[in-house]
Amino acid sequence: MPELPEVEVARRSVADRIAGGLILAVHMGKPLRWPLQTDPQGLVGRQVVSVGRRGKYLLFHLDEGVLLVHLGMSGSIRFAEGLPPAGVHDHFTLVTTHGLLRLHDPRRFGAVVFAPGLDKPPATTLLSRLGVEPLSADFDEASFVNAVRGKQAPIKQVLLAGALVVGVGNIYACEVLFLAGIHPATRADKVARYRLCTLHGAIKSVLAAAVAAGGTTLRDFSDANGDAGHFQTHAKVYGREGLACTVCGTPIKRMVQGQRSSYFCPNCQRG
């Protein structure tokens, strides 16, 4: 599913081009995970001021209100001056004076939700429990280390929960734990402090590298221009079960945690 780097890549690929555009029409397809929360025709005439991001939510700031877009499990957005007629998996199209923005989502776990402001429902409900943004100056090493050491769950589950730091999804959790030399099943409060400091740096560097690589495309992710990401070609452990570790040569192993695959090197990740 699209994780934080993919959502940030999507944001960057559309933000400058759609900013300033006036909404001319809104076309709805099949229902998504949540209702729009407003009459679609009420958006006509409003202006797209800017595009932000919080966690895995794209935030289309309008001159009145904000549209929160979540890509779900299989979603992607496209933006162009003209797009083909909407297909069976195209569920939301925003027609603006700068081009057409479309959400394509085969599994329909995504969402487009309107809120009067980020400080009002449903935005507060959706965003209030998200952790610190890992690519921001607020992602402080000491605070992160102390918070993790207060958890008794497996370290990978702590990362995926998103309450301490947002957006470290399954692919990137595997990668950062490898760089920090931490086994994904190790209890968070049992991880040495120096390894957690390394983990903090790994989260920042891996996510930044993933954004620079255009994200990860395993099946159908692409940015708003239709371009696929290629971070998957740089992965050290994710998806490499049975292949040699790039550091020590030991075969990479896979285990299941919380119904998700964890990839790790049994030799390098003992912490």
Asked whether residue 218 carries a pLDDT value surpassing 60, the answer given is no
Q: Across residues 204-230, what is the average pLDDT? A: 76
Q: Alpha helix (H) ranges present in 64-192?
A: 123-127, 141-148, 155-161, 170-180
Active site residue 175: no
How far apart are alpha carbons 31 and 41 in whole angstroms?
16
The CATH number of domain 141-264 is 1.10.10.10: no
From the list 11, 17, 53, 56, the catalytic residue is 56
How far apart are alpha carbons 168 and 11 in whole angstroms?
17
Phi/psi for 167 (5° steps) reads: 90, 5
H-helix or E-strand containing 9?
helix 4-18
Active site residue 204: no
pLDDT at 92: 96
pLDDT, tens digit, 9 for 90 and up, residues 149-184: 999 999 999 999 999 999 899 999 999 999 999 999
The pTM is what? 0.91
Asked whether residue 239 carries a pLDDT value surpassing 90, the answer given is yes
How far apart are alpha carbons 27 and 162 in whole angstroms?
33
In 10 A of CB 117, how many CB atoms? 12
Task: Enumerate the domain spans of the chain.
Answer: 4-127, 141-264
Q: Across residues 21-39, what is the average pLDDT? A: 95
pLDDT, tens digit, 9 for 90 and up, residues 105-119: 988 889 999 999 999
Least confident of 133-142, 164-173, 184-193, 222-231: 222-231
From the list 54, 122, 260, 266, the catalytic residue is 260
User: Whats the size of the chain, residue-wise?
Assistant: 271
Active site residue 120: no
Q: How far is CA 125 from CA 122, 164, 175, in A?
A: 5, 17, 30
pLDDT, tens digit, 9 for 90 and up, residues 66-93: 999 999 888 899 999 888 888 899 999 9
Active site residue 154: no
CATH for 4-127, among 3.40.50.300, 3.20.190.10, 3.40.50.1370, 1.10.357.140? Answer: 3.20.190.10
